[in-house]
Amino acid sequence: MQVSEPFVKKITPSGFFSLLLKTGVFLVSMGVIVFLLFDKMLWWNFFKESYCTQKGLLVLSLMLVGMFFNISVEALKWQYLVRTTSPVSFRLALTAVFSGITAGLITPHGIGDYVGRILFLNPENRLENIASVLFSRIAQLCITCIAGVVATLYFCFVIQMNQHMLTALLLAIATLLIIFLVWKFRVFLLDKMKHVPLLKNIEKWFDQLRGYSNQLFIKTLALSALRYGIFLTQFVILLIFFGVELPLEIIILGAVFTFFVKSIVPTFFDLGVRELAAVFFFSAYHIEDANVLAASISLWLINLLIPAVVGLFCMFGIDYTKK
């Protein structure tokens, strides 16, 4: 029996290994996502009753549109950061961000996000672009902390002095100060990394930070602020939709406080901290925990789990045969 030459060339050991690895990553990731979804199945009937109404469908549609714009802004931001070393199209950047969400969902504090994105770049530029993902995440953290400072100051001086809010304020200010010092002295710190045995081999991963300017930082902060605004709007709408009847400024303060706590506390599987922080804040106003939890879980499902499912299929675009 003769086999055509083109077909033989397609069945290479490296191609088979790549397909096998992609399938393995897909199955493992799918297993984790199913596990995370199963953990929320107790809420299925509640969500079904809430969203299967005219108002519920409208809210759900707005949330899905917000999710797409949210991820698109992040893709645009990352595309802008890697353009000097690895120019990529917006479509590829969007695919990489979806892939990063999937990888980040199953790792502590989203560490997998780095790998999920850089694997879409050319092999020779992958490691050096770890800095681009780090830079994007730090800019997002800055916006979260700035919003946290403004919200806690408003809460303490306009509403009431609160020990927990003061603690959050100090943490936000300390985080911003650390980020400022690291950014200001980044060249000095990178040079010092070369002389530390455990760090000298990875210093080149972050060397790209040397070339980032203050103007670039400001532009990245602006895109991060836009993304934060989308997140905040989504959460406020969901809280109102699920019956949190409080003045709008209190709802916004609660959402800001929730995002801040989630950003500074490392988690595994991205579960628990957001819900706990939201319940903690709104319980002071005698709001039913179920209402707050429904809004928080909806935000998680729409902005993380759904994109993670999309990211599963995006991962098949990664070429594992290259070094």
Within-domain flag for 186: yes
pLDDT in tens, 48-103: 778 888 898 999 999 999 999 999 999 999 999 998 888 889 999 999 999 888 88
* pLDDT in the model for residue 251: 93
* pLDDT in the model for residue 181: 92
* pLDDT in the model for residue 230: 96
Average confidence (pLDDT) over 114-124: 83
Within-domain flag for 46: yes
**Residue 321's pLDDT band (cuts 50, 70, 90):** low
* pLDDT in the model for residue 67: 95
What is the residue-averaged pLDDT of the chain? 81
Average confidence (pLDDT) over 28-41: 60
Range of the domain at 105: 12-317
Within-domain flag for 7: no
Average confidence (pLDDT) over 27-37: 61
**Pick the residue with more confidence: 71 or 296?**
71
Within-domain flag for 95: yes
pLDDT in tens, 220-274: 999 999 999 999 999 999 999 998 999 999 999 999 988 888 887 655 555 567 7
Average confidence (pLDDT) over 310-320: 75
The two three-digit tokens of residue 295, written as one number: 């809004």
* pLDDT in the model for residue 95: 92
Within-domain flag for 68: yes
Within-domain flag for 6: no
- Amino acid identity, position 238: L
Average confidence (pLDDT) over 282-292: 84
* pLDDT in the model for residue 35: 61
Within-domain flag for 69: yes
What predicted TM-score, i.e. pTM, was given to this entire model?
Answer: 0.83
**Residue 170's pLDDT band (cuts 50, 70, 90):** confident
* pLDDT in the model for residue 159: 76
Is residue 290's pLDDT more than 80?
yes
**Total domain count for the chain?**
1
* Residues 223/77, Cβ–Cβ less than 8 Å: yes
Within-domain flag for 177: yes
